Structure 1
Amino acid sequence: MGVRFHKMHGLGNDFVVIDARVAPVALSEPQVRAIADRRTGVGCDQLILVETSTVADARMRIFNADGGEVGACGNATRCVARLLGEDVRIETLAGILHGKTNGTGATIDMGQPRFNWETIPLAYAMDTRDMPVGWEGLERPTAANVGNPHVIFFVPDTYAVALDAIGPVIETDPLFPERVNVNIATVRTRNAIDLRVWERGVGLTQACGTGACATAVAAIRLGLAGGPVTVTLPGGDLIIDWKPGETIRMTGPATHVYSGEIDTGWLG
């Protein structure tokens, strides 16, 4: 017996999307890891389950490649919005997100960012605007939670940082009890930022929607940028618009690559 899926991506951040609204699907962490494996499975950064919801048009559950469930994924939300329709409300662990498609992509209202140390969360109290911490030359980051916890470092050249080496160190530091996504950003102009992201449970990705949101919000909060901000990731551009006290609006592409069927017999 097989499970139908859609392979989709947002700027190269790729997903296996399973519509479980008609026939519920239950997957264990090892099964998610097996599907996400790029050599022996379908391959993806995240596996997405679309389920029925009593409070929105659908419920979206997000599982990282390591099998762990997380609260939000901006790129996946755009992809699910494209699957569901032109104007949709999507229930997530981070709240209900509103999406509007625009032909090749979607605009998502990602809700309000959170900055209190308890809501990042951090292990102990500190100023999340200017954190008095550092790792191997990366110092005094800022933090935000946009459905997922993010720490952001502003540096002269994002590509000069060995993010594949330092990313997992920061991700698993005891300061972050739920682990953290690591963003390395360079502000080019007040409306343009270069960004690379180490995603918790995934690693280096071509794009990270919540990372782009967190980074743009952090830059605006620090007075380094003004919205709307074009955030350029290795996979392409996202446009992030935010004003203090308002919700974050993220606009970008969402691509349907193919549909298929997973033979569940090998999953165990």
Structure 2
Amino acid sequence: MRIPFRKMHGLGNDFVVIDARERAVEMSARRAAALADRHTGIGCDQLILLEPSETADVRMRIFNPDGGEVEACGNASRAVGLYLGGDKRIETLGGIIAASTSDTGISVAMGRPRFGWDEIPLAYPMDTLTMPVGWEDLVEPVAVNVGNPHVIFFVPDTHSVDLARLGPLIENDPLFPRRINVNVATLTGPDALDLRVWERAAGLTRACGTGACASAIAAMRRKLTGRRVTVTLPGGPLVIEWTDADEIIMTGPATTSFEGSFGTSDYPA
């Protein structure tokens, strides 16, 4: 039996998208990790499985390269929005999000940000706007949950931070019982940020949509920017807006790279 897939990316953050709405596809951590492997599999930052939903137009399941399933992914949401076309409601483990296509790209309503220490979650109570913690030169981050958890450090220069070394150290700190995504951001204009992200269980990526959302919200909460911010990642820019209705809107591109299929016996579940 062969299973069709579509390879897609948003700003270089790439995905293998499998549509299992009409024909069920068994997905295990083992199969997801094998498909995500860039040497022996198809290769991707995350594998996306689309399934029927009772509460939305589609259910989106998101698997990291280690096979673990996570709550949300902004770039994947834009890719799925492009795949489905039109205006769609997408069910994720992090909640219902809405995607729509326009001349400026794919816009995704990511829901409301959460700031409570137990909503991130953290291991114990503390102020999430200026956290009294640090790791070497990275100190006093902001914590935001935008469907998945993030900490954001504002630094003079994102490229001076050894994120490949500090990222996994912070990700796996006992302060974060579900681990954490680590962002380093630099203010480059009145409403502009440069951003690099260490993604939980995925490492450094060219773009992270939820990281862009979380970092923009963190900058807004600290009154560093207005309510509409351009966030530039290594893969390119995203526009993040925090509406008066307390909803995050992310707008940016998504692209289909190629289509193909794989044999179930080659990647057993």
Q: TM-score range by the shorter chain?
A: over 0.9
The Cα offsets for residues 128-177 of structure 1, whole Å up to 9 and x where unpaired, read as 00000001211110100000000000000000001001000000000000
Could you tell me which residue of structure 2 aligns to residue 33 of structure 1? Answer: 33
Return the alpha-carbon distance in structure 2 between the equivalents of residues 89 and 219 of structure 1.
28
The Cα offsets for residues 27-67 of structure 1, whole Å up to 9 and x where unpaired, read as 11111111000000000000000111111111101111111
What root-mean-square deviation, in Å, do the aligned CA atoms of Structure 1 and Structure 2 show?
A: 1.0
2:159 paired with 1:169 = no
Q: Per-residue deviation at 1:267?
A: 1.6
Q: Per-residue deviation at 1:265?
A: 1.3
2:94 paired with 1:74 = no
Return the alpha-carbon distance in structure 1 between the equivalents of residues 53 and 266 of structure 2.
30
Fraction of identical pairs, as percent:
62
Are the aligned partners of 1:112 and 1:248 in contact in 2 as well (CA < 8 Å)?
yes
Extract structure 1 runs of 4+ deviating beyond 4 A: none
Could you tell me which residue of structure 2 aligns to residue 235 of structure 1? Answer: 235
Unaligned runs of 5+ in 1: none
Return the alpha-carbon distance in structure 2 between the equivalents of residues 18 and 266 of structure 1.
16
2:101 paired with 1:101 = yes
Q: In structure 1, what residue type is equivalent to 2:4?
A: R
Give the alignment of 1:77-226 within 5 angstroms.
77-102=77-102, 105-226=105-226
The Cα offsets for residues 216-263 of structure 1, whole Å up to 9 and x where unpaired, read as 000000001112100000000000001465100000001011110012
When normalised by structure 1's length, the TM-score is 0.98
When normalised by structure 2's length, the TM-score is 0.98
Q: In structure 2, what residue type is equivalent to 1:15?
A: F
Q: Per-residue deviation at 1:81?
A: 0.8
Are the aligned partners of 1:104 and 1:255 in contact in 2 as well (CA < 8 Å)?
no
Instruction: Say which SS state the counterpart of residue 27 (structure 2) adopts.
Output: coil
Return the alpha-carbon distance in structure 2 between the equivalents of residues 135 and 164 of structure 1.
14
Q: In structure 2, what residue type is equivalent to 1:154?
A: F
Return the alpha-carbon distance in structure 2 between the equivalents of residues 250 and 163 of structure 1.
24
Could you tell me which residue of structure 2 aligns to residue 262 of structure 1? Answer: 262
Q: In structure 1, what residue type is equivalent to 2:83?
A: L
Are the aligned partners of 2:213 and 2:250 in contact in 1 as well (CA < 8 Å)?
yes
Q: Per-residue deviation at 1:104?
A: 7.1
Return the alpha-carbon distance in structure 2 between the equivalents of residues 109 and 247 of structure 1.
7
